[in-house]
Structure 1
Amino acid sequence: MSPKIPKTMKALVLEEFGKPVQLKEIPVPKPRYNEVLIKIEYAPLNPMDLSFLKGSYSSVKKLPVTPGFEGSGTVVASGGGLYGWSLIGKRVAVYVQRSPHGCYAEYAVTNAFQCITVPETVSFENAASGLVNPLTVVMMHKKTLKKKAKAIISNPGASAVGRMIYRYFTANGIKVINIVRRQEQVDLLKKEENAEYVLNSSDPNFQKDLNQLSKKLGATVSFDAVGGSLCAVILNNMPDGSSTYVYGNLSMKNSEASQNDLIFKHKKIKGFWLVDWMKKTSVLENYFLSKKLGSMYNNIMATSFARKYPLNQIEEACRFYLKNMTEGKILLSPSAIEISEINDKKINEQCAQQIQPRL
């Protein structure tokens, strides 16, 4: 028996970029052909969400819109299509790429093929960040294999995606040099992830150590979400012919590279965007790739979370997240009535213990 779907729902609505979102009572959206309606349990705050709210993220979505690119929940209706119908009643992780009905609401709509089923052993919390970061990491690994790199550099290494990069690449036999900004982040990665190579960019010997280590390990690929001058510093201390792929801009400054590196040392700096990669792969390939991720949500692809917030406290949630990114991601929940802490210590310890070679 299908669950009863209300006529209206609570949702955050963005009417103007750079302005606060508003919690409103709006009609529950109806899925079109090949789309499904999901009752949302949790939705994370990602850097891409923050950029979208400010108007600095490339998207086809037009205002007004309910933000929230990913989340977790249960499929309660389908607009048609065999796969969409098969998902009804299933627990899923979702990615809302094009639909204006995002996950910061009680219900969201997305393409059925941007949902993956979640095993009963995986909580809705862990599944909430089950697509964007995990798929990004898998695509990064494919790029690394194509470049035949023996090791990579990850900046920032202590972020949610940085820790996924370390686990996934290590499990597949590729060394990772993790770049962080503070000593407590060095200690964190060594303790919780058993990371072997962690360099502090604030250390006076940082450039010398990076230069020696990248050459020793053959780190000819780096993935950078910080940008700014540090991007140039890292590329400058990599072997000749190396490539940096920029997938974010946490510093809010343009990524840099020296002419000497680009011209005479044949180094490259390129953008890396998951959406572009998804366009280049078939729907079927993306589907099977996504299905593969489900078994990793409790270990290699697990995400550390710090707090849960109700929808009406998104402004406070954004402020906390921007100041405490290393502590873990923030979850928004339509059913939450107050802020609550999340203790992920056990999850992090399990991740470090469960990394196994060659997935």
Structure 2
Amino acid sequence: MQRLLRRARIPPVRTAPARTAPARTATVRTATVRTRSAAAGTAPLGLLYERHGEPAAVVQLKNLEVPKLGDCDVHVKMLAAPINPADINMIQGTYPLLSPLPAVGGNEGVGEVQEVGRRVAALKPGDWVIPADSGLGTWRTRGVFPEEMLLKVPSDIPVLCAATLSVNPCTAFRVLADFESLAPGDSVIQNAANSGVGQAVIQIARASGIKTINVVRDRPDLPKLVERLMGLGADHVVTEEMLRKPEMKYIFKSTPRPRLALNCVGGKSTTDMLRHLQPKGTMVTYGGMAKQPVMVPVVSHIPQSAFIFRDVRLRGFWMTQWRREHAQDREGVVAMMDALCQLIRGGQLTAPACTEVPLQDYRTALEASMKPFVSSKQILLL
């Protein structure tokens, strides 16, 4: 991991101390959204929601009005955009950051610059761009955005890699870099290993010589999933049930106990991973798929008493917060992106398993993205 950090010129610890969450839901800055009653095919299309609720009920495909290009604006033709859990939560109204309504869905994606305002210096027609922050509203065919809301990415990487670059790979990069100084031969344990972040963690760790112990839920197609994760570079893949069995000791004969645990689930899965963490190790929580609290043993059986006897550290991470705290560190953000793109070019980092869906079939994509045990990310082709 240090090799990647040196290449990216990013210090290993950049995350600010944990803060108390705000009592009220914040709003995000978005591009202006206007609808128009234009004939089919004459106006850009977007997936718009005017109220919060279940996506299938509130999201509609509508014609959008593209505002006039300002001096500092960029006209972008969107190419592809994924459906992420945060997108669903924003539509439902349950995410900590919400876009002003009406809003176009989507926080991630890639587009091609069509035209730039006269004061735009860093972008030109033909460049590929991704969102610099949440709330851009990427589920649209075209849009006009302020230059500061966009990041340039190379156009020589696969479009699906570019479309899924700004959330999961960046989260994986930061949680591997910012909390423990990992060296080749060290190990990491993570749950939700088949998620977008989990797949990126496996590949980035492998490129850095770090071993991964990957926890997944049991499922009918488990052998196929294990094969796919091993193909990405996973060293061990175990189910949540296997994680609790004494046979785990055999893994640690060839792999050191992890110094870092990555938690995207919560509940009992947290406790089970903590049992295998090294003393003074760190658990980073970046998601809560089980919608259950993080459970940490304080005093029980000595081997399981994480805080008192083993002095483990519990941290939290949110990529949106990291971006906002580093908004003025444009060079550092670009360096992280460059490091990830180098891995992509070298075949060491690929897009997660994806299902490509035409924009007109958005309801099918929304429904599929909310089903359990689905490891394929829905990508809207725009």
TM-score tier, shorter chain, comes to 0.7 to 0.9
Matched residue, 1:274: 319
Partner of 1:105: 140
After superposition, where does 1:122-271 map in structure 2 within 5 Å?
122-146=157-181, 150-182=186-218, 183-184=222-223, 185-190=225-230, 192-203=231-242, 206-210=244-248, 213=251, 217-260=256-299, 261-271=306-316
Letter in 1 for 2:298: Q
Structure 1 residues 231 and 106, CA gap change in structure 2 (3 angstroms): same
Q: Conserved in 2, the CA contact under 8 Å of 1:69 and 1:102?
A: yes
Aligned amino acid, residue 89 of structure 1:
P
**Structure 1: gaps (5+ residues):** 1-5, 335-359
The 2-side partners of 1:226 and 1:42 are apart by: 28
Query: Partners in 2 of 1:247 and 1:32 — Cα distance?
Result: 37
Which position in structure 2 is the counterpart of 1:356? none
- Is 1:46 equivalent to 2:84 in the alignment? yes
Q: Is the 8 A contact 1:9 1:105 kept in 2?
A: yes
Q: Which residue of 1 aligns with 2:335?
A: 288
Q: Which runs of 5+ in 2 are unaligned?
A: 1-40, 300-305
Partner SS state of residue 79, structure 2: strand
Residue 293 and residue 29 in structure 1: after superposition, are their counterparts in 2 closer, same or farther (change >3 A)? farther
Q: Is the 8 A contact 2:257 2:276 kept in 1?
A: no
Question: TM-score, normalised on structure 2?
Answer: 0.75
CA contact (8 A) 1:36 1:112 kept: no
> Which residue type is aligned with residue 231 of structure 1?
T
Letter paired with 2:50: E
Verify the 8 A CA contact 1:16 1:63 in the aligned structure 2: yes
1:71: Cα distance to partner? 0.7
Native 8 Å contact 2:131 2:149 kept in 1:
no
Conservation of the 8 A alpha-carbon contact between 1:39 and 1:74: yes
* Residue 187 to residue 327, structure 1, CA distance change in 2 (3 Å): same
Provide closer, same or farther for how the CA distance between residues 291 and 188 of structure 1 changes in structure 2, counting only shifts above 3 A. closer
Number of the residue aligned with 2:367: 319
* More displaced 10-residue stretch of structure 1: 49-58 or 292-301: 292-301
Alignment map for 1:76-95 (pairs within 5 Å): 76-79=114-117, 81=119, 84-95=120-131
SS at match of 1:86: coil
Matching residue of 1:353:
none
User: For the Cα contact (< 8 Å) 2:45–2:62, is it kept in 1?
Assistant: yes
Q: CA deviation digits over 1:139-186, x for unaligned, max 9?
A: 122124447792211211222221211111121122111111233232
Q: In 2 relative to 1, CA 210–35 (structure 1 residues): closer, same or farther, beyond 3 Å?
A: farther
CA distance in 2, matches of 1:158, 1:210: 20
Any conservation in 1 of the 2:282–2:312 contact (CA below 8 Å)?
Answer: yes
Distance 1:37 1:251, change over 3 A: farther
Equivalence for 2:19: none
Kindly state the Cα deviation for residue 277 of structure 1 after the two structures are TM-superposed.
2.1
Structure 1 residues 91 and 241, CA, compared in 2 at 3 Å: closer, same or farther? same
Report the alpha carbon displacement of residue 218 of structure 1 after superposing the two structures with TM: 3.4
- The C-alpha deviation readout for 1:43-67, integer Å capped at 9, x for no partner, is 0111221222222222252221111
From the superposition, tell whether residues 31 and 161 of structure 1 become closer, same or farther in structure 2 (CA, over 3 Å).
farther
Q: Which residue of 2 aligns with 1:333?
A: 381
TM-superposed deviation, 1:212:
6.4
Distance in structure 1 (CA, Å) of the matches to 2:116 and 2:133? 17
Post-superposition CA distance 1:257-276 (Å, at most 9, x none): 22332344322322111122
Q: Deviations for 1:49-106, whole angstroms, at most 9, x for unmatched residues? A: 122222222225222111111111201233465xx4432223424125255x511001
How far apart in 2 are the matches of 1:53 and 1:170? 35
Partners of 2:312 and 2:201 in 1: how far apart? 22
1:309 pairs with one of 357, 361, 368: 357
CA distance in 1, matches of 2:249, 2:146: 45
Contact kept in structure 1, 2:199 and 2:352, CA below 8 Å: no
Higher helix proportion (structure 1 or 2): 1
Q: 1:300 is matched with which residue?
A: 348
Residue 123 to residue 186, structure 1, CA distance change in 2 (3 Å): closer
| Distance of aligned partners of 1:313 and 1:266 in 2 relative to their CA distance in 1, 3 Å threshold | same
Which residue identity does 2:276 align to in structure 1? N
2:110 and 2:130 in contact (8 A); partners too = yes
CA distance in structure 1 between the partners assigned to 2:249 and 2:95 by the alignment: 33
Q: Name the % identity.
A: 22
Any idea what the Cα deviations from partners look like across 1:181-237, whole Å, max 9, x if unmatched?
2332323322x224222222133x644344664695131211111222211221133
After TM superposition, give the deviation of residue 26 of structure 1 in Å: 1.8
- Kindly report the root-mean-square deviation, in angstroms, between the aligned alpha carbons of the 2 structures: 2.8
Equivalent AA in structure 2 for residue 269 of structure 1? L
Give the match for residue 99 of structure 2. 61
